[in-house]
Amino acid sequence: MVNRGVAVWAGKVYVGAFDGRLIALDAKTGKKVWETLTVDQSQDYTISGAPRVVKGKVIIGNGGADFGVRGYVSAYDAETGTMAWRFYTVPGNPKDGFESKTVEMIAKTWHGEWWRHGGGGTVWDSMAYDPDLDLLYIGVGNGGPWNYTMRSDGKGDNLFLASIVAIRPDTGEYVWHFQTTPGEDWDYTATQHMILADLTIDGRARKVLMQAPKNGFFYVLDRATGEFISGTPYVNVTWANGLDPKSGRPIEKPEARYSAAGKPALVAPGPLGGHNWQPMSYSPATGLVYVPALDGGFMYVPADPQSFQRRAGVFWNNGLCPTTRRSERRSGHRRRAASSRGTRSSGNPSGPRSFRSRGTAGCCRPRVVSSSRATAWAASSPTTPRTERRCGIFTPRRESSRRR
């Protein structure tokens, strides 16, 4: 596993430990000031993401969706380590009662006995804060298991999986959400980095949030309201034909829903995503966002719903058919690897990709022999001249639409 960093504030260093502890250290001496346990260690939770400090509170999420846990994000007093609030991203067992009106609301988007498998929705990486709007944005992960039919009887949007959620940092109060992949079925997290910027779009000043999540689409949202502004593929996408221009909801291809069809489906992007945890950046000088992108697909093979069982510890509970790597024996037992082994792309990971924040047509696509590439989107009409570079040779061309 990895640790994606620490937070430093008011003479202290805050670090999330792999076993679920949040630890405050004296920045000068390294001496431990306080520590608190943020997870139930009887469950398969981890921490790999960096804490954030907002208004005197340390914000931390967790990981473990693939192992059958329920996601949430918590806030702790930066001086004492006392928990201030906790925001659940997926609902628990209704018989235990709902922690808030928000949890009661999202439970209506789930079906079956989802709580038996945990539900997923962990906040394991990206968060951002806007001090002017006083909004904390969290990126929510995949479902647990991935298989939508096993998780929720193949019904409902399953909020807040694969969503960007805005909350108040003082109280954890829900403000708005935008779901990138309703009924998430492919490990398409929305935990990837979010960029906040002020842009002029169609002559109007907009406070925007930009993200390139795993599902292969680049999104521009109004960060005050969650309104969808634009979205376009930044890698090869085969699970959807595009996004609804008003709502931003994906226009899915039915054959990509392996869980509903009950048969294998070759889908791009795969579970590694078009973009994963690697940071992306925005340049106000060029108006471009630069994204490390990956083109690749994956064969999703659904497991038999009758034989699927949640297994704690070693096994990924993704609801897919496992594949045998090779005969390995340890203590007399064969180890089986989950189908995540197949997530390696058949091609080389692509290089940084860049595109205009509006995500409209026109592009500059540098290419090299290794097939790594970068794409620049022009914030203009589809007839914007496109320049393609091959091994240092520039060839301007005009087209009515961009080439994927």
Q: Hey, which residues are catalytic here?
A: 187
| Burial of residue 254 (number of CB atoms within 10 Å: 0-12, 13-18, 19+) | exposed
Structure tokens at 394: 């520039």
Residue 223 CB partners (closer than 8 Å, separation 6+):
130, 133, 135, 137, 166, 196, 207, 208, 209
Cα separation, 83 vs 81, whole angstroms: 6
Region of residue 239 (phi > 0: left; psi between -120 and 50: alpha; otherwise: beta): alpha
Give long-range contacts, CB 8 A cutoff, 24+ apart: 41-44: 43/68, 43/69, 43/118, 44/68, 44/69, 44/312, 44/313
- Classify strands 228-233 and 240-243 as parallel, antiparallel or unpaired: unpaired
Residue with structure tokens 């208004």? Answer: 55
Q: Of 273, 250, 232, 251, which is closest to residue 375 (Cα–Cα)?
A: 232
Give all strands (DSSP E) within 10-162, no chain letters: 12-16, 21-26, 32-37, 52-54, 57-60, 72-77, 83-88, 119-120, 127-130, 135-139, 143-144
Q: Of 245, 244, 265, 269, which is closest to residue 254 (Cα–Cα)?
A: 265
Local structure of residue 171 (DSSP, 8 states): T
Sheet hosting strand 352-356, strand order edge to edge? 281-283, 288-292, 352-356
